[in-house]
Amino acid sequence: MAIHKNPKMKQKPRSPILILTVLIAAIGLLYLLSSLNSTNGFSNSSPKTPQNLMVKSKNHLRRYSASEKYLYWGNRIDCPGKHCESCEGLGHQESSLRCALEEAMFLQRTFVMPSRMCINPIHNKKGILHRSDNATSEARWAASSCAMDSLYDLDLMSNTVTVILDDSETWHQTLSTSMKLGSRGIAHVHGVSRAELKEKSQYTNILLINRTASPLSWFMECKDRNNRSAIMLPYSFLPSMASKKLRDAAEKINALLGDYDAIHVRRGDKLKTRKDRFGVDRALHPHLDRDTRPEFILCRISKWVPTGRTLFIASNERTPGFFSPLAVRYKLAYSSNYSSILDPVIENNYQLFIIERLIMMGAKTFIRTFKEDDNSLSLTDDPKKNTKAWQIPVYTMDGKEC
């Protein structure tokens, strides 16, 4: 109680005033900081999760940066010339997307990503994951397109090449700004090389470069395939940019598989034959049908995959039990073994293949269908890029032994 009799208690009336002054100053400072952090057009309608705040912050920086410039290739991933109503497979579309991203890197511009990717019906029939003839199951795979961010992690991608979606508020802001800037706002280019776009001063300060005037698909337009030094992004770039939910599903399956090997067996869309004028069947890949049959696969991979190993098989072969003969030597695993993980995630075959691709990338030994480079392993020696030479299919071993 003696502490209440301390003479210093005379100063007590001044303490609340001091505390109140400090509080007012602190509140004012917080309000000032809040005002600085919230800018025109910044919406607070979405839940303020850490992820949303991160994305909004990045959009804010992109939207209002005076130096930000954009590259637009239209709202279609792949529009092959006169056949724009058709839709190429995921491989072609990724080839287009990858080289368009490379051009954005080369020009140091933000790439305007189409918000959706079309799905080729040929590549979206029920795959190995769903074999049922149930109509409801069939309907799940009937989508003609899917959201781009359901396939790829755009925030992760932006660490290498800054991207925005063409249905985003940032893009609408860019379009309205380009209209106000007049001749400095947008340049519609056709047949102009990316080197010219970078070197010519007339394009330097243009806000938006628009490539949609070109009737060609991206992968034919924006990259010289014979000039390897022009390739800025490796083939592995887009597979590693898979959306988080697809990466998480692949990681769960990887963990369950443990130590395993993998093969990718491409059959369905590549086993094309036609009859010549004498009625003889000919194929663009004369050894492919033979080399992707179980008995020949066993022979081919025996030197790379020891007996008893777990072998994950990804394939577009739809004949049930087609690869069962491989079980005499290996423990076989398919996507269909993990439907409890995949069913809540997968909406189409593109997503399924992206997950399978991640699983194959995690294998100790991965064997492709076609040989990609000097260091890759493959089931067949037929070139992936055929020469349009139709040859008689070969089904014998050509004197080779396992």
Fill in the amino acid letter for 313: I
Give pLDDT, residue 215.
67
Q: Which of the pair, 227 or 358, is modelled with greater confidence? A: 358
Q: In this structure, are strands 145-147 and 116-118 parallel, antiparallel, or unpaired? A: antiparallel
- The distance of Cα 54 from the centroid of its chain, to the nearest Å, equals 21
Q: Which of the pair, 324 or 192, is modelled with greater confidence? A: 324
Pick the most confident of 37-46, 47-56, 80-89, 269-278: 269-278
283 within 8 A of 390, measured Cβ to Cβ: yes
- CA 126 – CA 335 distance, rounded (Å): 13
- CA 122 – CA 283 distance, rounded (Å): 19
User: Helices then strands (H, E): number in the chain?
Assistant: 15, 14
Task: Tell me which CATH code domain 244-383 carries.
Answer: 3.40.50
**Sign for the pseudo-dihedral over CA of 155, 127, 97, 376:** positive
Model pLDDT for residues 95-134, shown as the tens digit of each residue: 889 988 999 999 999 999 999 998 877 666 544 444 444 4
pTM value is: 0.77
Domains 70-240 and 244-383 in one fold: yes
Residue 163 predicted with pLDDT over 70: yes
Q: Which of the pair, 149 or 6, is modelled with greater confidence? A: 149
Give pLDDT, residue 119.
86
Residue 2 predicted with pLDDT over 70: no
Query: What DSSP assignment string belongs to 278-306?
Result: TS-EEESSTTHHHHTSHHHHHHHHTTTS-
- CA 112 – CA 299 distance, rounded (Å): 47
Mean pLDDT of 366-391: 88
Mean pLDDT of 190-201: 89
Give pLDDT, residue 216.
66
Give pLDDT, residue 399.
63
Question: How far apart, in Å, are the Cα atoms of 154 and each of 112, 163, 274?
Answer: 11, 7, 42
Beta bridge partners of 367: 263, 377
What residue segments make up the domains of the chain, in order of their start? 70-240, 244-383
311 within 8 A of 265, measured Cβ to Cβ: no
Beta bridge partners of 300: none
Describe the chain by its helix, strand, coil percentages, rounded to 5.
Answer: 45, 15, 45
pLDDT tier for residue 223 given thresholds of 50, 70 and 90: low
Tell me if the domain spanning 70-240 has CATH number 3.40.50. yes
Return the H-helix or E-strand segment holding 21: helix 14-37
Structural tokens at position 157? 């991608």
Q: Which of 135-144, 220-229, 250-259, 352-361 has the lowest mean pLDDT?
A: 135-144
Give pLDDT, residue 222.
61
- CA 117 – CA 91 distance, rounded (Å): 12
Mean pLDDT of 353-374: 94
178 within 8 A of 207, measured Cβ to Cβ: yes
Give pLDDT, residue 140.
44
Q: Which of the pair, 253 or 371, is modelled with greater confidence? A: 253
Q: Which of the pair, 161 or 220, is modelled with greater confidence? A: 161
Q: Which of the pair, 145 or 242, is modelled with greater confidence? A: 242
